Structure 1
Amino acid sequence: MGKYNFDQLIDRHGSGAMKVDSLNEFFGRDDLLGLWIADMDFAVSPRIREALSRRIEHPVYGYAGAPQSYWDSITGWLARRHNWNVKREEITYIPGVVKGIALAINFFTQRGDKVVIQPPVYHPFRMVTEGNDRVVVNNPLIFDGESYRMDLEGLERIFRDEHPKMMILCNPHNPVGIQWSVDVLQEVARLAKKYGVTVVSDEIHADLMLYGKPHFPFASVSPEAAEVSITLGAPSKTFNIAGLVSSWCVVKNPKLREPFFHWLMVNEFDAPTFIATIGTEAAYTQGEDWLDEMLEYIEGTIAEVEEIVAEKLPDIKVIRPEASFLVWLDCRGLCMSHDELIKLFVNKAHLALNDGAMFGAEGSGFMRLNIGSPRSVIRYSLESLADALASVCAE
């Protein structure tokens, strides 16, 4: 047992948590175990809660600026954790990573412009692009049955023939959990530079690297990457504080940065609340021991998931993530249609996971399992799935 108790069961019902209080809206029933939306059921670091409590106890909640210590906490974290030197003028606040993607799309592209995504991938990439009247161009990842790789030849064909204005990169990739190598990222940057494509890199899972693997910020891998990139990150997934709505944007190239940051400023998109600044600063300056212990706990949970699935659900394959608390399950060995697969999880096992097809057609037959819960909950969920599958097979 470490310093923090990640085995603690916390009832989140009635707290407004989408994970449990919005089940009926998204799954049609509310008697499910929530293992879907990407937040964790772990208690937030006491240091974050203490910092917020001290501020909340003050009787006045007026306008608040972002202190220098807030910016220092972010740039210090990036330097310490990812060996990435970011200057104060290169970073700004963003009210959420998805909102940051939307803002970048609206500023750097026009209606009808093409935007490249790499399915199976986080579904808001498609939704935000299409919702803003841009055209999605898919560059699907290649799956060999064990792991995924980027189709760089296909990417160059798209850049050359389709003339997209933007690419949305997921680094590390959600939902497949891979951290792209320096070589791959350098090639993406080379192609983007060659064909005039701006790359928006979603790096919200960057701090959740597992098994000692390093994260490689896209903008850091080459001069070309720094020139073409807009990087978005946040402490939200890292420290389980998504409800504080605190994210950041780094743009190294002044030709991209200065007009974009000016537009964000005049529209007040870059103005954080004091809840965001205080929570972020406490997380980045006092939460590292909590994070390290949590990641060790997640690695242990992944080992249990692999063991239980191999023993009780041998027709399901676990794609081990290199980052994050999200596990991509290849369920195609069950030989079910995708609708049958969803019915198995939801109506038979009473589990709410993210349906793989929501990440693109390439995710059909897969499910995304959020293991950011006490291990007893994850064990129970897998045993429920095994029992449900046995009952289906017996029918």
Structure 2
Amino acid sequence: MTNKFDDLITRRGTGSYKWDEPEGDDIIPMWVADMDFRVARPIMDALRRRVEHGVFGYTLVTDEYYDAVISWFSRRHGWTMRREWIQYTSGVVPAVSAVIKALTVPGDRVIVQTPVYNCFFSSIRNNGCDVSESPLIYAGGLYTMDFDDLEQRAADPKARLMLLCNPHNPAGRVWTAEELLRVNDICVRHGVTVVSDEIHCELVYDGHEYRPFASLSAGCLANSVTCCSPSKAFNTAGLQIANIISADADVRRRIDRAININEVCDVNPFGVAALIAAYNEGGEWLDSLLAYIKGNYTALCEFFAGRLPRVRIVPMEGTYLVWADISAFGMTSDQVTERLLTEGRVMVSSGTIYGQAGEGFIRINIACPRERMMEGLRRMAAVLPR
């Protein structure tokens, strides 16, 4: 029986950042976080209808858009938000940047839990703020939060925000309600607002549950701003649509000002149409996707256990990004990444771009047809020491 996710779609030569940025047409790209799968049929149909209209002027975001967002999060995640809480923009990175601009002044400190998504660092520094790194604890092949260190950093008088990654990229953790409530307790006591990047929220596997940070308590809702998008789960990153959610009217006013200062207040009609279709009709496709990626992950773990046993795979509770401990090789992350690229012709991400805590790791994107993933893994095994 064929699976739609097994289709080997040619992306090279289409202006794909993932495929066309690497130099060489023989490279398998397993780095930047987008998927090699066609989007769900309802999204294709919605975009086709919009294209056939033939006029692509400035976009008015209507009630249908807000209703789709509210209904999806209520149905899938038990969080019923209000329309007025939602502010749209062109992506989660612009969203995070706008929130930082809105809620800090240059010289303030923003806490991150490293290793963490590399754009956090640039968003903080581009707004004139300083990064305060609170490394996660890595022990026994698992990651946990260092709450003592977080407490110390939150107590810093210059600390204003904490950027939370929920689920966490690249460590793959889906934070529990208990962990998130403890984060909020620390941050509230020290006057630190939590900015929760929840772009990977749909990509969670059996045995784990994504809990929207703001849904956990009245205190979490009052002390947080959530940034989310269907782009990772539904493979629509190029359509550039995201939402910022805050229950505080004054915070929203400041964010609205920052969005306009940053000139990311307009969105395109295709992003709007895709979000509505994804949230209203994409659930069944998403469930199938999760099952397929989980199969990829299982196949990868079996492969490494047999062919590259010195590599320790960190459990992937969420995302489609495998975080692999390669420290046993005695090489830096950059050295391993370079060898894989130049000798193996497979491109992965070096752990060092996620902060110094990422040294000794690489990140592997497995959101691709299994045949392609397995070829990439075989190339890795051919050039890395057993």
Separation in structure 2 between the aligned mates of residue 30 and residue 11 of structure 1, nearest angstrom:
11
Task: Tell me if 1:142 matches 2:137.
Answer: yes
Structure 1 residues 9 and 189 mapped into 2: Cα distance closer, same or farther (>3 Å)?
same
Separation in structure 1 between the aligned mates of residue 382 and residue 262 of structure 2, nearest angstrom:
54
Pick one of 227, 233, 236 that aligns with 2:231: 236
Aligned to 2:350: 355
Separation in structure 2 between the aligned mates of residue 183 and residue 228 of structure 1, nearest angstrom:
16
Separation in structure 1 between the aligned mates of residue 241 and residue 175 of structure 2, nearest angstrom:
25
* Secondary structure in 2 matching 1:299: helix
Structure 1 residues 337 and 59 mapped into 2: Cα distance closer, same or farther (>3 Å)?
closer
- Per-residue CA distance 1:124-146 (angstroms, 9 max, x = gap): 11111112221101100000032
| Gaps in structure 2 of 5+ consecutive residues | none
Separation in structure 1 between the aligned mates of residue 70 and residue 261 of structure 2, nearest angstrom:
24
Separation in structure 1 between the aligned mates of residue 239 and residue 262 of structure 2, nearest angstrom:
21
Pick one of 325, 330, 337 that aligns with 2:325: 330
The answer to whether the 8 Å contact 2:314/2:325 transfers is: yes
* Secondary structure in 2 matching 1:112: coil
Separation in structure 1 between the aligned mates of residue 257 and residue 82 of structure 2, nearest angstrom:
17
Separation in structure 2 between the aligned mates of residue 267 and residue 173 of structure 1, nearest angstrom:
26
User: How many residue pairs end up in the alignment?
Assistant: 386
Aligned to 1:7: 6
TM-score, with length taken from structure 2:
0.96
Aligned to 1:199: 194
Please state how far the C-alpha of 1:276 moved relative to its aligned partner.
1.2
Structure 1 residues 161 and 70 mapped into 2: Cα distance closer, same or farther (>3 Å)?
closer
TM-score, with length taken from structure 1:
0.94
The answer to whether the 8 Å contact 1:170/1:203 transfers is: yes
Separation in structure 2 between the aligned mates of residue 172 and residue 261 of structure 1, nearest angstrom:
26
Aligned to 2:374: 379
The answer to whether the 8 Å contact 2:102/2:257 transfers is: no
Structure 1 residues 267 and 97 mapped into 2: Cα distance closer, same or farther (>3 Å)?
closer
Separation in structure 2 between the aligned mates of residue 339 and residue 104 of structure 1, nearest angstrom:
32
Task: Tell me if 1:274 matches 2:269.
Answer: yes
Please state how far the C-alpha of 1:62 moved relative to its aligned partner.
2.1
- Per-residue CA distance 1:240-298 (angstroms, 9 max, x = gap): 01000011111022332244336546876443221111011011111111110000001
Please state how far the C-alpha of 1:184 moved relative to its aligned partner.
1.2
- Per-residue CA distance 1:217-253 (angstroms, 9 max, x = gap): 1111122211110100000001001000011111022
The answer to whether the 8 Å contact 2:28/2:346 transfers is: yes
Structure 1 residues 339 and 264 mapped into 2: Cα distance closer, same or farther (>3 Å)?
closer
Separation in structure 2 between the aligned mates of residue 74 and residue 11 of structure 1, nearest angstrom:
32
The answer to whether the 8 Å contact 1:92/1:270 transfers is: no
Separation in structure 2 between the aligned mates of residue 273 and residue 37 of structure 1, nearest angstrom:
23
Pick one of 244, 247, 252 that aligns with 2:247: 252
Task: Tell me if 1:313 matches 2:312.
Answer: no
Separation in structure 1 between the aligned mates of residue 156 and residue 259 of structure 2, nearest angstrom:
32
Separation in structure 1 between the aligned mates of residue 58 and residue 188 of structure 2, nearest angstrom:
41
Structure 1 residues 260 and 13 mapped into 2: Cα distance closer, same or farther (>3 Å)?
same
Separation in structure 1 between the aligned mates of residue 374 and residue 113 of structure 2, nearest angstrom:
32
* Secondary structure in 1 matching 2:81: coil
Structure 1 residues 251 and 372 mapped into 2: Cα distance closer, same or farther (>3 Å)?
same
Separation in structure 1 between the aligned mates of residue 261 and residue 151 of structure 2, nearest angstrom:
36
Task: Tell me if 1:366 matches 2:361.
Answer: yes
* Secondary structure in 2 matching 1:206: coil
- The correspondence of residues 1-395 of structure 1 with structure 2, limited to 5 A, is 1=1, 5-24=4-23, 31-261=26-256, 264=259, 269-389=264-384
Separation in structure 1 between the aligned mates of residue 215 and residue 92 of structure 2, nearest angstrom:
19
The answer to whether the 8 Å contact 1:82/1:214 transfers is: no
Separation in structure 1 between the aligned mates of residue 169 and residue 334 of structure 2, nearest angstrom:
22
| Greater shift in the superposed pair: 154-163 or 252-261 | 252-261
The answer to whether the 8 Å contact 1:117/1:137 transfers is: yes
Separation in structure 1 between the aligned mates of residue 263 and residue 28 of structure 2, nearest angstrom:
39
